Structure 1
Amino acid sequence: MSRTVTLALLDAAGAPLGALPPFDVPSPWWQDVAPVVAEAQRRYGVDVAILRLLGGDDTGTVGGAVTYLGQVSERPAAPLVPAELDLTADPLRAPFAEPGGPARSLAWAKGELRRLGRPAETANQQRTWNLSAVWRLDGPGGTAWLKQVPAFFRHEAAVLRWLGRAAPGKTSTLLADDGDGRMLLDHVPGEDRYGAPIEERLAMAADFHPVQVRSAADVAELVAAGVPDLRAPHLAGWIRDRLTGHDISSVAGLLAGLEARLDEVARCGLPETLVHGDLHPGNVRACAGKHVVIDWGDAFVGHPAFDVLRLAEGLDAASAQSVVEEWCARWRADVPGCDPERAVELLRPVAALRMAAVYAMFLEGIEASERVYHATDVDACLKQALGPAPAL
């Protein structure tokens, strides 16, 4: 599957120039802008920074036709076609989606790399969407990554700093951050493990377990550093607050009983820890048998079972059960007398509710043209929450 791209352009001052004729790129994922930038250069000799999504057809956010807004420093030699652009300011627009935003962020990143003795010679845009903008910077000192995130993910830098001290080698090395969503990360070799088989997921869970055990003693420090506090006293209210305005009639009973359910979870005796929040194999990089967990924007302090439930998703029932059983065995060994099996079962519907609330938070915190990325996610998670769950 491919995309047909229309690329509307602004000049260096942010004034509209028109659009390049539509062209195809092989990657279907709308947030993947590296092939868009490369094809614009190959076809038209245009060096462009993609600012944001303007719209697309009804294929969702994969394949089909899609339109982006980009910025160039010089007017292209290629002929442009007229383009109707709505350039109205949006208070929810990310700084990296504003004219001049990528240039400002790259200037910051290159300055930090010079300070570190690792000057960048090239910078290539990889991704941009409502959750992040990512650039690869290469130079004689190696590869680094500029990642910029919106306000609701700004605690990621605090998580990376803690991990760098408490669990070195388990995640990306934070080289610098500006406290306002920009992070400079060292390169992690390997490949993202989307679709990893059961054997590898078991290894991922085993590798990650010591991180959560270690974090239990530091949850207050993490919360003080800005990591969201979704421990039991806060979680139920946080979920309900974010689902305000959505049709929650199908899960009204579950929402009403959340406090009682979470009280039962607490009686299972597991500590609350740092939770990655989106621990699927695509957020784990593997190289030479070593697993490194990346992308901590969804992280929070809460119950560790949320991560094993995410890691087991997409597996057949028997394989998913193996992941959960090994996870439970490790916690029983570390916390004698705890009941991790019951905690997992009690939290299954809560995990889906939490994800519905996360997607609702995204929709509330991003500009209108970007909401297409999450348009169906809240309802899908609410439906998932209605699956079988144990009685209290």
Structure 2
Amino acid sequence: MSRTVTLVLVDDAGRPLGALPPFEVPDPWWQQVASIVDGARRRYGVDVAVLRLLDADRPHPPGGHVRYLAQLTGAPAGPGAAGGVPLEPATVDLAPHLLRQPWAQVGGPARSVAWAIDELRRLGRPVTAVAQQRTWNLSAIWRLDTPEGPAWLKQLPPFAHQEPTVLTWLATGAGVEAGPVVLAVGEEGRLLLEDVPGEDLYGVGEEARAGIAAAHHSVQLRSVGAVDRLVAAGVPDLRGVALARWVRERLAGHDVSVAAGLLGGLDERVRRLRDCGLPDTLVHGDLHPGNARGGDARRVVIDWADAFVGHPGFDILRLTEGLDAPAAARLVAEWADRWRADVPGCQPHRAVDLLRPVAPLRLAAVYAMFLAGIEPSEHPYHVHDVPAALAQAAAEARR
């Protein structure tokens, strides 16, 4: 599957210039923009910074025909042309929006990259090349090459403010290499990270996931004594009944009828969950294999923007998604054995059974939080996720 892309261009002052002719890019995921920037340069000889999604011909990703707003960089161009390429007329709403992220605004990418270049220069690492990788409502990411290897600029929305705090704690309190090295933290959600060599581990099987789970257990065990400090530093507190309250608040205004029974009994369910005796820990919040990076010798968990303090069972349930039932059961059994060894008398299997419908219910609340914090043009990224997660939660509760 691929995408067809139309770039509506603006100049450095935000004035509309017109649209480049549509072109195809090989990757279908709307937030991935490296191929878009490269395609505009190769096909039309223009350099651009992709700012934000405008619209698409389908209700949700991936694929289809997608329009983006992009800022022309480099030499200025007059209306109707960009680097000698005739532009097509384009209708686009350029009105500001209160929920627009800094990197989605004209000049935003340049300001963020300039900050990162200055920080790397301060560290004695001159930047030799910059490449925009991703932009959407959850993050913007650039790769910055230096003689010492690449660094990564990540910019986050306010509802993901906890990632720098978590990464800093991982570097000092976890006792293991559990996350990317933080090089600098800046304003407007900017975060400069050291490169983690290797590949994102999408699609790996049981053996690799077992290794991720074992290493992650060490992190969670070390975090037990630090949860109050993490909460005080701004990491979301979803311990016990606070989880039920947070879920209901985020889902207010959404149609939750399919999961009404589960929501009605959520306080009692989390009380029973606490009776299982597992301690509250640092939870990654989205521990699928693609959020681990590396190879056979070294794996690092990345993307801690969804982290919170709460029940450790959330992460093992996410990590086992997509496996066949016997493989998932084996990983859960190994997870349970580790917790029973470290916390004698606890009931991990009972806890996981209680948590199975709560995990997708929490995800529905997460997606609802995203929708409440982003501008309407980017709602297609998440609007269908809320009912889908609610339906999954209801199905799990009936089992």
Counterpart Cα distance in 1 of 2:100 and 2:188: 14
Report what 1:219 is aligned to: 227
Report what 2:66 is aligned to: 66
Question: Is 1:81 paired with 2:81?
Answer: no
SS at match of 2:61: coil
Checking the alignment, whether the CA contact within 8 Å between 2:7 and 2:20 is kept in structure 1 is: yes
* Of 122, 126, 131, the match for 2:129: 122
Checking the alignment, whether the CA contact within 8 Å between 1:345 and 1:390 is kept in structure 2 is: no
- Match for 1:188: what amino acid? V
SS at match of 1:126: strand
Report what 1:355 is aligned to: 363
Report what 1:166 is aligned to: 173
* Of 278, 281, 300, the match for 2:286: 278
Offset at residue 140 of structure 1 (A): 1.1
Offset at residue 260 of structure 1 (A): 0.9
Report what 1:102 is aligned to: 109
Report what 2:27 is aligned to: 27
SS at match of 1:72: strand
Offset at residue 60 of structure 1 (A): 2.2
Offset at residue 124 of structure 1 (A): 0.2
Q: 1:312 to 1:327 in 2, by over 3 A?
A: same
Report what 1:337 is aligned to: 345
TM-score (norm 2): 0.96
RMSD over equivalenced CA pairs, Å = 1.2
Per-residue CA distance 1:6-30 (angstroms, 9 max, x = gap)? 0010101111111111111111111
* Matching of residues 1-392 of structure 1 within 5 Å: 1-58=1-58, 60-73=60-73, 74-75=76-77, 76-77=82-83, 78-167=85-174, 168-389=176-397
Offset at residue 389 of structure 1 (A): 4.3
Offset at residue 277 of structure 1 (A): 0.1
Per-residue CA distance 1:219-270 (angstroms, 9 max, x = gap)? 0111111110001131101000110111111211211111111111111111
Checking the alignment, whether the CA contact within 8 Å between 2:262 and 2:397 is kept in structure 1 is: no
Checking the alignment, whether the CA contact within 8 Å between 1:12 and 1:100 is kept in structure 2 is: yes
Per-residue CA distance 1:37-61 (angstroms, 9 max, x = gap)? 0010001111100000001111621
Checking the alignment, whether the CA contact within 8 Å between 1:12 and 1:72 is kept in structure 2 is: yes
Q: 1:100 to 1:221 in 2, by over 3 A?
A: same
Counterpart Cα distance in 1 of 2:224 and 2:187: 25
Counterpart Cα distance in 1 of 2:95 and 2:332: 49
Q: 1:390 to 1:272 in 2, by over 3 A?
A: farther
Counterpart Cα distance in 1 of 2:12 and 2:236: 38
TM-score (norm 1): 0.98
Counterpart Cα distance in 2 of 1:10 and 1:180: 23
Checking the alignment, whether the CA contact within 8 Å between 1:346 and 1:390 is kept in structure 2 is: no
- Match for 1:107: what amino acid? A
SS at match of 1:89: coil
- Match for 1:16: what amino acid? P
Counterpart Cα distance in 2 of 1:111 and 1:50: 22
- Match for 2:234: what amino acid? G
> How many residues matched?
391
SS at match of 2:4: strand
Offset at residue 387 of structure 1 (A): 2.5
Q: Which runs of 5+ in 1 are unaligned?
A: none
Q: 1:384 to 1:12 in 2, by over 3 A?
A: same
Counterpart Cα distance in 2 of 1:137 and 1:236: 41
SS at match of 1:194: coil
Counterpart Cα distance in 1 of 2:332 and 2:395: 17
Checking the alignment, whether the CA contact within 8 Å between 1:192 and 1:286 is kept in structure 2 is: yes
Counterpart Cα distance in 1 of 2:180 and 2:220: 17
- Match for 2:368: what amino acid? A
Offset at residue 388 of structure 1 (A): 4.1
Offset at residue 390 of structure 1 (A): 8.6
Counterpart Cα distance in 2 of 1:299 and 1:379: 22
Counterpart Cα distance in 1 of 2:197 and 2:394: 40
Worse-superposed segment, 21-30 or 304-313: 21-30
Checking the alignment, whether the CA contact within 8 Å between 1:352 and 1:384 is kept in structure 2 is: yes
Checking the alignment, whether the CA contact within 8 Å between 1:215 and 1:274 is kept in structure 2 is: yes
Worse-superposed segment, 321-330 or 68-77: 68-77
- Match for 1:381: what amino acid? A
Per-residue CA distance 1:172-217 (angstroms, 9 max, x = gap)? 0010011531000000001011111111111110111100000000
Offset at residue 129 of structure 1 (A): 0.6
Counterpart Cα distance in 1 of 2:387 and 2:34: 31
SS at match of 2:42: helix
